[in-house]
Amino acid sequence: MTFKILWLQAGSCGGCTMAALTAEDRGLIAALRAFGVEILWHPALSVETGREAVKILEDITSGKVELDALCVEGSAMRGPGGTGKFQMLSGTGRSMADWIRELSGFARYVVAVGTCSAFGGLPMAGGNVTDACGLQYEGDSEGGLLGRDFKSKGGLPVINIAGCAPHPDWITETLGLLATVRLSADQLDTFARPRFFADHLAHHGCSRNEYYEFKASATQFSHLGCLMENLGCKATQAAGDCNLRSWNGSMGSCPDAGFPCVACTSPGFETPSDAFQETAKRAGIPIGLPVDMPKAWFIALAALSKSATPERVNSNAQSDHVVIPPVRDEDDT
Amino acid sequence: MSTRIIGPFNRVEGDLEVHLEIENERVQSAQVSASLYRGFEHILLGRPAFDAITITPRICGICSVSQSVVTAAALSDALGVRPSTNGQLGINLVHAAENLADHLTHFYLFFMPDFARPAYADKPWFAKTQRRFQAQAGLGAKELLAARARLLNITGILAGKWPHTLAVQPGGLTRSLDEGGKMRLLSVLADVRAFLQETLYGLSLEEIAGLENRAALDKVLDTAIDIGSDLGLFAALARDLDLESLGAAYSRFLSFGAYHFQDENLFPAGMMVAGEVRELDPGAFREDLQSSWYAGGPSHPADGVTQPFIEREGAYTWCKAPRVNGQPAEVGAVARQLVAGQPLIRDMVGAGPANVFARIIARLVESARIVINMEYWARRIEPKAPVSTDEKPADEGVGVGLAEAARGSLGHWVRIEKGRIQNYQIITPTTWNFSPRDGAGVPGPVEYALEGTPVAHSDPNAVAVQHVVRSFDPCMACTVH
């Protein structure tokens, strides 16, 4: 028995597929095969085109072929004026939104791959001219294309593998869970993101942790210091195990590479309160403080740690390479 | 006369529908339609200038770094910040990694699987081709995906992740470099070289990159066929099916120039018209809207507007129609290598148009050239030299960013006032290639290339049409920003 998936690209950049192709450093096809996942059709991977492809969709909606998971990448485009004409599924004369609505009724599980299909994502920015939304969310409000009460035949809401793009292994591991064990509602967080990655903060395991602890901050890009105080980093507020597993090989992650976490796993990330690359502040204090940390404590601790920061940490924080290495006490060695 | 509509036209990036008018088993005329609109040029309006660095990569998941590079160049031009030398080396490496990944993805996942279709089951090369290139099941795809993941480790090392990094900034790269990182880059590149030499070509990168003329290519292809490399499989079927006779478009090519280093581009900017190289004149660009679902008339991208108008009479696509001096032009690896004077590609195309075979060979030759240069750039990284400058950007200005994505020429035109974006217009490579008819009724390059393509009654999939369309490696996601 294989676990059959259909993958559609709604209003997307294709980046979730492109990320997924690098899964587990060996590629999506091998990674999914390990879990017994069979791809009925994928826009980038399948040979079937045109009429042959439409037939696969029709075999599902006629009940001829069982669909285990409908995977959707990209925002649902409802505009203009509710017609869905901002995205027609080529060759069918029907809007993609319409196809997704129908196919969702036949799928055991519906999986939103990426922040666009989860919450609406980037196309919602700038006044949302395309009336884009996620499958079951519009920003942080429940609803979206399928409505707040939607549950797939398997009894779950839309499973949101958020991220722009998500870590490829979040995609394969979620599909693997659905295919091999099971995924129950309590394994999803309040935004229906799989908790195996969403129960962490993107900040956990950050290689800049020492700078964070001492509030030794970078003031420009390429500096080694913490990116939270000045350069817009939201890793202390964003869901994700981004720094506990690496991206694209042995060492990648956003803050590790010197640029801020933009909280791409969060609904509404596309419309920050200020510029992406600057930290929004009020009276000199960042507006977005670490989740579940009392503000007064944060300010007190920050002041205390700043006063105790070693010269090494302060100097290195505002340099693009280590200028003062740690000096080890000879008694320690 | 009969009509055929092919859609969803897959194994391209994004949404594509192809309309064919067929007479006597040949395409009489074709219309290509991009069937998605996302509104990026609108989304950027009013945003802080540097937000473009987060927003524009998300236009396209397959050439997101190209979008970053061109955004950084446009901001750099508008606000007066230049990248450091070390930063430029790092940017070139990340950009080249993505472009190379795209070329390889195109060959293994998008283009070749069509030759493993049952329609070709009686061909002598079929069994081997099917074993390597059958969609999803082929061994070639499996090996490619592992090699591609390894190649993209370069983006992990230098840019944190792929796609959608913010590491490429007008002042350089955000990721500082050390000796260990430099060694990791060289280690990845050694594996990339091995994949290309052992699996793809069966020959050294230097033998491929240095090809001087058609006779030399034929000799190399004979060797590749003997060895049984993936290039050899392509060569055998390309000769048998005469892919040179398919997909001729216009003999007008553009390149915006790629991989800036030490005041010059590895692949220079320019234009080639009927075999003659000319200087690139971006002032001569206009985007025509006659067949596109937008309001307004032709305008230069610096003054362009993007106003959806789905009721527009005669319109059939969300793609605009860019023209240079009023004429359509082809972009992509073949155009880039023609303008750059790569002798083999010049010899193959001459003063005429490109074709399916030439487009594929141009990508394969360019891939070898890219890896050789990546090794060169990686060795030149100075670990302690600054990756980023600390120049302060102005908060007003008008700028243009031009560079080459895998699929061809990409341009961004931006106007910034008080630190905020007042206008932002984008012309992507596939917008050139997949443009619709303009106000003079002239079809875009792919529409024109499809005219005359054979479509047998007995061939429901119109395979030759598929070869022609995919030879351009369209990225519709970019097109419909």
Q: Which of B12, B17, B18, B38 to mutate to test the interface with A (most CBs of A within 10 A)?
A: B38
One domain, residues A28 and A136: yes
One domain, residues A207 and A186: no
Domain boundary among A171, A198, A225: A198
CA distances from A21 to A78, A128, A248 (A): 28, 29, 11
Judging contacts by C-beta atoms under 8 Å, the chain B residues touching residue A13 are: 58-61, 64, 163, 477
For β-strands A137-138 and A132-133, DSSP reports them as unpaired
Domain boundary among A198, A233, A254: A198
N- to C-terminal Cα separation, chain B: 35
Provide the 3-class DSSP secondary structure of residue B278.
strand
Minimal Cβ distance to A16: which of B13, B61, B156: B61
Q: Are B473 and B360 in contact (CB under 8 A)?
A: no
Record: contact B167-A275, CB cut-off 8 A: no
CA distance B56 to B410: 12
Judging contacts by C-beta atoms under 8 Å, the chain B residues touching residue A261 are: none
One domain, residues A126 and A72: yes
Strand order in the sheet with B276-278: B252-261, B264-273, B276-278
Residue A165 φ then ψ, to 5°: -80, 160
Half-sphere exposure of A134 (CA within 13 A, CB side): 36
Record: contact B10-A43, CB cut-off 8 A: yes
Q: Are A149 and A91 in contact (CB under 8 A)?
A: no
CA distance A145 to B427: 31
Measured in angstroms, the CA of B5 and the nearest CA of chain A are apart by 6
Minimal Cβ distance to B466: which of A49, A92, A252: A49
Q: Could you tell me where the DSSP H helices lie in B152-251?
A: 153-159, 179-194, 205-209, 214-227, 230-241
Q: Which of A90, A169, A211, A256 to mutate to test the interface with B (most CBs of B within 10 A)?
A: A90
What is the Cα B21 distance to its own chain's centre?
28
One domain, residues A301 and A154: no
Confirm whether the ipTM is greater than 0.95. yes
Tokens standing for residue B84: 């450091």
How confident is the model over B326-370, as pLDDT tens digits? Answer: 999 999 999 999 999 999 999 999 999 999 999 999 999 999 999
Chain A and chain B share a number of CB contacts under 8 A equal to 286
One domain, residues A264 and A293: yes
Find tokens 């390309």 and name the residue: B238
Provide the 3-class DSSP secondary structure of residue B312.
coil
Nearest alpha carbon to residue A163 among A127, A191, A204, A130: A191
One domain, residues A229 and A301: yes
> The pTM is what?
0.97
Tokens standing for residue B354: 């490109």
Measured in angstroms, the CA of A155 and the nearest CA of chain B are apart by 30
Judging contacts by C-beta atoms under 8 Å, the chain B residues touching residue A262 are: 54, 166
What is the Cα gyration radius of chain A?
22
Q: Which of B3, B5, B11, B36 to mutate to test the interface with A (most CBs of A within 10 A)?
A: B36
E strands in B239-344: 252-261, 264-273, 276-278, 285-288, 321-324
Which domains are seen in chain B, by residue range? Answer: 35-444+464-479 (1.10.645.10)
Using 50 as the pLDDT threshold, list the residues of chain B that sit under it: none
One domain, residues A192 and A105: yes
For residue A151, what is the DSSP state? -
CA angle B61, B66, B68 (to 5 degrees): 90
Record: contact B145-A21, CB cut-off 8 A: yes
CA distance A148 to A143: 4
Omega into A267 within 30° of 0, i.e. cis? no
Q: Are B66 and B46 in contact (CB under 8 A)?
A: no
Judging contacts by C-beta atoms under 8 Å, the chain A residues touching residue B50 are: 275-277
Return the number of other C-beta atoms located less than 10 Å from residue A333's C-beta: 5
Check whether A333 has a pLDDT greater than 60. no
For β-strands B397-405 and B408-417, DSSP reports them as antiparallel
User: pLDDT at position A37, please?
Assistant: 96
Helix/strand number for chain B, H first, E second: 18, 13
Measured in angstroms, the CA of A99 and the nearest CA of chain B are apart by 13
Q: Could you tell me where the DSSP H helices lie in chain A?
A: 15-20, 28-33, 51-61, 96-104, 115-119, 168-180, 195-198, 209-213, 295-307, 311-317
One domain, residues A257 and A151: no
Tokens standing for residue B170: 């007008």
Check whether A303 has a pLDDT greater than 70. yes
Measured in angstroms, the CA of B213 and the nearest CA of chain A are apart by 34
Measured in angstroms, the CA of B274 and the nearest CA of chain A are apart by 35
Nearest alpha carbon to residue B291 among B462, B442, B110, B134: B442
Record: contact A47-B165, CB cut-off 8 A: no
How confident is the model over A85-107, as pLDDT tens digits? Answer: 999 999 999 999 999 999 999 99
More confident residue, B350 or A298: B350
Domain boundary among A164, A198, A232: A198
Stretch A238-263: mean pLDDT? 94
Measured in angstroms, the CA of B350 and the nearest CA of chain A are apart by 33
- Per-residue pLDDT band at A332 (split at 50, 70, 90): low
Longest C-alpha distance within chain A, in Å?
77
Query: Is residue A41 included in any domain, yes or no?
Result: yes
Tokens standing for residue A277: 């690359």
Provide the 3-class DSSP secondary structure of residue B249.
coil
Count structural domains, chain A.
2
Q: Which residue of B has its CA nearest to A261?
A: B166
Q: Which of A207, A320, A323 to mutate to test the interface with B (most CBs of B within 10 A)?
A: A320
CA distances from B141 to A89, A249, A320, B371, B477 (A): 27, 20, 40, 20, 23
Return the number of other C-beta atoms located less than 10 Å from residue B457's C-beta: 8
Q: Are B82 and B389 in contact (CB under 8 A)?
A: yes
CA distance B158 to B96: 12
Record: contact A44-B387, CB cut-off 8 A: no
CA distance A154 to A178: 10
Tokens standing for residue A38: 């069979």
Record: contact B114-A47, CB cut-off 8 A: yes
Check whether A285 has a pLDDT greater than 90. no
Return the number of other C-beta atoms located less than 10 Å from residue A94's C-beta: 14
Record: contact B42-A126, CB cut-off 8 A: yes
Q: What is the dihedral of CA A279, A280, A286, A288, to 10 degrees?
A: -100
One domain, residues A177 and A240: no
Judging contacts by C-beta atoms under 8 Å, the chain B residues touching residue A276 are: 48, 50-51, 53-54, 166
Check whether A251 has a pLDDT greater than 90. no
- Per-residue pLDDT band at A330 (split at 50, 70, 90): low
Judging contacts by C-beta atoms under 8 Å, the chain B residues touching residue A22 are: 145, 148-149, 152, 162
Q: Which residues contact B222 (CB under 8 A, 6 or more apart)?
A: none
Judging contacts by C-beta atoms under 8 Å, the chain B residues touching residue A27 are: 141-142, 144-146, 148-149
Minimal Cβ distance to A129: which of B42, B159, B188: B42
Query: Is residue A30 included in any domain, yes or no?
Result: yes
One domain, residues A172 and A56: yes
CA distance A228 to A206: 12
- Region of A121 (left: φ > 0; alpha: ψ -120 to 50; beta: rest) is left
CATH code, domain with A262: 4.10.480.10
Structural domain including A245 reads 200-325
What is the Cα gyration radius of chain B?
22
Minimal Cβ distance to B39: which of A21, A123, A220: A123
CA distance B4 to B426: 31
Q: Which residue of A has its CA nearest to B87?
A: A222
User: pLDDT at position A331, please?
Assistant: 60
- Cβ-defined contacts of A243-246 (< 8 Å, 24+): A243/A202, A243/A203, A243/A204, A243/A205, A243/A206, A243/A207, A244/A200, A244/A204, A244/A205, A245/A167, A245/A169, A246/B156
Tokens standing for residue A307: 């006063």
Judging contacts by C-beta atoms under 8 Å, the chain B residues touching residue A29 are: 136, 141-142, 145
Query: Is residue A330 included in any domain, yes or no?
Result: no
Measured in angstroms, the CA of A95 and the nearest CA of chain B are apart by 10
CATH code, domain with A31: 3.40.50.700
Q: Are A106 and A65 in contact (CB under 8 A)?
A: no
For residue A88, what is the DSSP state? E
Query: Is residue A332 included in any domain, yes or no?
Result: no
Measured in angstroms, the CA of A297 and the nearest CA of chain B are apart by 31
Query: Is residue A333 included in any domain, yes or no?
Result: no
Q: Which of B154, B174, B423 to mutate to test the interface with A (most CBs of A within 10 A)?
A: B174
How confident is the model over A171-189, as pLDDT tens digits? Answer: 999 999 999 988 999 999 9
For the packed helices B126-133 and B139-151, what is the interaxial angle rounded to 10 degrees?
Answer: 40
Find tokens 């793609």 and name the residue: B319
Minimal Cβ distance to B62: which of A18, A222, A249: A18
Q: Which residue of B has its CA nearest to A247?
A: B161
Tokens standing for residue A146: 């399928």
Q: Which residue of A has its CA nearest to B388?
A: A222
Measured in angstroms, the CA of A164 and the nearest CA of chain B are apart by 7
One domain, residues A27 and A139: yes
Query: Is residue A331 included in any domain, yes or no?
Result: no
Q: Above pLDDT 90, what percent of chain B?
A: 95
Q: Which of B37, B75, B102 to mutate to test the interface with A (most CBs of A within 10 A)?
A: B37
One domain, residues A118 and A230: no
CA distance B412 to B403: 9
User: Please, what's the b/e burial string for B292-319 (b: 16 or more CB within 10 A of its CB; e: otherwise)?
Assistant: bbbeeebbebbebebebeeebeebbbbb
Sign of the alpha-carbon torsion through B175, B179, B183, B189? positive
Nearest alpha carbon to residue B291 among B10, B27, B19, B40: B19
- Per-residue pLDDT band at A295 (split at 50, 70, 90): confident
Minimal Cβ distance to B153: which of A222, A249, A320: A249
Provide the 3-class DSSP secondary structure of residue B138.
coil
For β-strands A159-161 and A107-113, DSSP reports them as parallel
Nearest alpha carbon to residue A202 among A173, A174, A164, A160: A164
How confident is the model over A181-226, as pLDDT tens digits? Answer: 889 999 999 999 999 999 999 999 999 999 999 999 999 999 999 9
